[in-house]
Amino acid sequence: MSNSANQTVNVISGLELSSSPHVHSKFTTQQVMWLVNLSLLPALISAAVFFGLYQLVVIGVSCAAAVLSEIVVKIIRKSEITIYDGSAFLTGLLLGLIIPPNFSLTSAAIGSAFAIIIGKELFGGLGFNIFNPALVGRAFLQAAYPVAMTTWSKPNFAVDTVTSATPLAAFKFDKMITGIEPLIIGNVGGSIGETSALAIIIGGVFLIGIKIVNWRIPLSMILGLILFGSIFWFIDPIKYPNPLFHLFSGGFLLGAFFMATDWVTSPYTSAGMWIYGLLISLIIVVIRLFGGLPEGVMYGILIMNAFVPLINRLTHPKIFGEAK
């Protein structure tokens, strides 16, 4: 039977019966991955502007280690080399953006290799991983190099009031609140590519506009963060930061647009996406306000990645005629 015959079995009165897949996209997986890579260009530029060109070397090493690791794993498994699909490069790129400035090149390469080997290929490769690979790599670096992962650099154009600490750490440990304007521009301490809210929003809106990212996940996370952050802020505005500070500080926006939205590790139902996004934000707020660490985005997304199969099962629409 020819391919066309396989794809279209029968057409009766406008009803087309065809073989799977039944959900189509105008983009191939390879195109999606490289478009996501492209959307991170503003964050890359902001990293170079605020922390220096050396950060591009760190990110380049992270990308190279990710791609090389995938090649080695594919050779060992005697399977097709798939680095051209851009997913390994994307993992290295995201990991490079969420580590501190001036990070050790060796440590960045080790973390990137861990992300690919353990976070992605151990589960079977692209499409089979349970957790976001870049965040798996960052979690490993956080455990292996706790000092380096909490050592921050002062941005290039910092004013006297700006410290090298991240805004979240400055508030948590010293009750210093950072203004919204520097948070939006990115002239603050933080991970290489997550300080400029403006750069991240440009890339995120681009992905939503071309329908690669489903708007429900970032919107539910933003609304959830504002809701849960506002509750505590109204209770005690001295003790707890305002919701806009939560929104624009740390890695929240990078996580909301580029990590929580990973097609493989996020829910596929609309209701599930809302539940998933809201609960990620709840975990983030709880960790930021009551945990030992100032940031909770990585843990919020990884924890909810684990619940995605359950969320999908609970929110899966009933098939017509299916017994309850």
Q: Look at residues 44, 41, 46 and name the one whose alpha carbon lies nearest to residue 156.
A: 46
Query: Got the DSSP string for 198-239?
Result: HHHHHHHHHHHHTTSS-THHHHHHHHHHHHHHHHHHHH-TTT
pTM of the model: 0.88
Residue 197 one-letter amino acid:
A
pLDDT tens, residue order, the chain (324 aa)? 444 444 444 445 555 666 665 556 678 889 999 999 999 999 999 999 999 999 999 999 999 999 999 999 999 999 888 889 999 999 999 999 999 999 999 999 999 999 999 999 999 888 899 999 999 999 999 999 999 999 988 888 766 555 667 899 888 888 888 889 999 999 899 999 999 999 999 999 999 999 999 999 999 999 999 999 999 999 999 999 999 999 999 999 999 999 999 989 999 999 999 999 999 999 999 999 999 889 999 999 999 999 999 999 999 877 766 655
Q: Tokens 């290929």 correspond to what residue?
A: 121
Helix, strand, or coil here: 179? coil
On whether the CB atoms of residues 245 and 227 are closer than 8 A, the answer is no
- Quickly name the fold that domain 29-314 has: Ammonium transporter fold (1.10.3430)
Domain range list for the chain: 29-314
